[in-house]
A = this chain, B = another copy of it.
Amino acid sequence: MYHKNEAALTPPMGWNSYDYYNTSVTEAEVIANAEYMASNLREYGWEYIVIDIQWSDPNAGTKDEQYINFSHFTIDEFSRQTPAINRFPSAKDGAGFKPLSDFIHSLGLKFGIHIMRGIPRIAAHLHTKIKGSTHTADEIANPYSISKWNPDMYGVDCSKEGAQEYYNSIFELYASWGVDFVKVDDICNTNMYPDNPYSAEKEIEMIHHAIALCGRPMVLSLSPGPALIEKAWHLETYANMWRITDDFWDSYPLLLDMFKRCEIWQGHSKPGCWPDCDMLPIGYIGKGFHHERMTNFTKDEQMTMMTLWCLFRSPLMLGCELTKLDDFTLSLLTNKDVIGLTKHSKRAHQIARNEKSAVWMCKDTLNDDFYCAMFNFTNEPLSVSIGFNELGISGPLAAKNLWTGEVYPDISWAFSTVIAPHGTALFSLSF
């Protein structure tokens, strides 16, 4: 029997086209990033290549508006979006993403795509067919269930005959393409739909069932956040990862806010279930938004981010153009000690948090080690001292600073360190 948790036993790691390309990425650009990953990052655990929103729109990126109202994107006879041929030439002749997916698999990587929940609006208006059903798009589309920010789709009404069949049909197609990861958008923060509080939840369930039926394991990733903590059980039952934040960008207030979100969601990460802090906006980003830049985060802020994401075991998705990676950014992504936390830590929990600092701790699953991270939220260097009794452990122990490599062979009862502004100190503790 298929169990959805097996598709993501550790937090997925990869690359996503959005932060650099916005809606407009092309096949050649995807391939370039995939080749870089295969050559430079794969050995550190990075493996997913994900094409984000609007891949079926031939005009995406050509107008001022991010999403083109009433754009004539490509759909097949069964109301299903297909890749825009002008952007993804290998998709010609009805091949879909199969050729591109095959190539990415040949590099030892995995392939992912983005979709919006629902069915194309135009299909509903034209009464287009649904594969495997005698019903048509107008019969399952809910004209009142729309996204607040994208004009393409109508929500699917789970109470209608043909609704599950529609979702089955699109995942059957994705399975035939070799898709390994699906980021479903406009579905995660169910607070967005005050008039239909349960409809998005029901679409999550239909998608879960469609994946179970399609014959190919796929990671189910839900966006955008913030997901509701009251819905944690539902998310853990039906999805593999879900955004716990609205879109995250390279702004320190957003990073600071993530500490509140991780406080709320601690204890909910486990194999197959990964609360998601969103993409890592480091390296070169923003080109598709007419604002290409090296990340605005300082180096210390980037280490803070990597420490929190890894210790919390968030999925790690790179938002940057990989072919432009600089040495510092690359060093973050290839620090085996830090990245390793996503693979073999457990029970991450917050020890303390106030306006100035926070302390987190977790356990290694491979041995008896612990990890302890301290964070400085202030704009000045901060001396931090924390007694082992506050951590629930007792010394003596040996500590290693995982970012600097410094080793402290024999500590009796407390750490003391000075942390840079907005920075972090991350220690492994061996007894």
Contacts and interface: CB of A to CB of B under 8 A. Distances in A.
Interface in A134-158: 138-139, 141-144, 146, 148, 151
A121 B126 CA distance: 11
B267 A267 contact: yes
A408 B263 CA distance: 44
A144 B147 CA distance: 8
Contacts of A266: 233
8 contacts: A69-B141, A70-B141, A125-B126, A143-B151, A144-B148, A148-B195, A229-B229, A229-B264
Interface of A is mostly: mixed
A389 interface: yes
Given A1-B389, A125-B125, A264 B230 contact: yes
A240 interface: no
Contact of A230 (B148, B229, B267): B229
Contacts of A127: 70, 72
A393 interface: no
Given A70-B143, A125-B70, A146-B144, A233 B151 contact: no
A171 B267 CA distance: 33
Nearest to A152: B143
A122 B230 CA distance: 39
A86 to B, nearest CB: 19
Interface string A175-216: 000000000000000000001000000000000000000000
Contacts of A350: 233
Given A121-B125, A143-B146, 10 more contacts: A69-B139, A69-B142, A70-B124, A70-B143, A72-B127, A121-B121, A125-B126, A144-B146, A148-B195, A233-B266
Nearest to A71: B138
A15 to B, nearest CB: 30
A263 B233 contact: yes
A138 B264 contact: no
Contacts of A142: 69
Interface string A379-397: 0000000000100000000
Nearest 3 CB-CB pairs, A to B? A143-B151, A70-B138, A122-B125
Residues of A in contact with B, size category = 20 to 34
A98 interface: no
Contacts of A330: none
A124 B126 CA distance: 12
A69 B119 CA distance: 14
A232 B69 CA distance: 34
Nearest to A350: B233
Interface in A94-134: 121-122, 124-127
A350 B231 CA distance: 13
Contacts of A263: 233
Contacts of A389: 1
A56 to B, nearest CB: 15
Contacts of A230: 229, 264
A392 to B, nearest CB: 9
A283 to B, nearest CB: 33
A268 B267 CA distance: 8
Contacts of A144: 146, 148, 151
Interface in A60-80: 69-70, 72
Nearest to A230: B264
A162 to B, nearest CB: 13
A27 B266 CA distance: 45
Contacts of A126: 125
Nearest to A270: B267
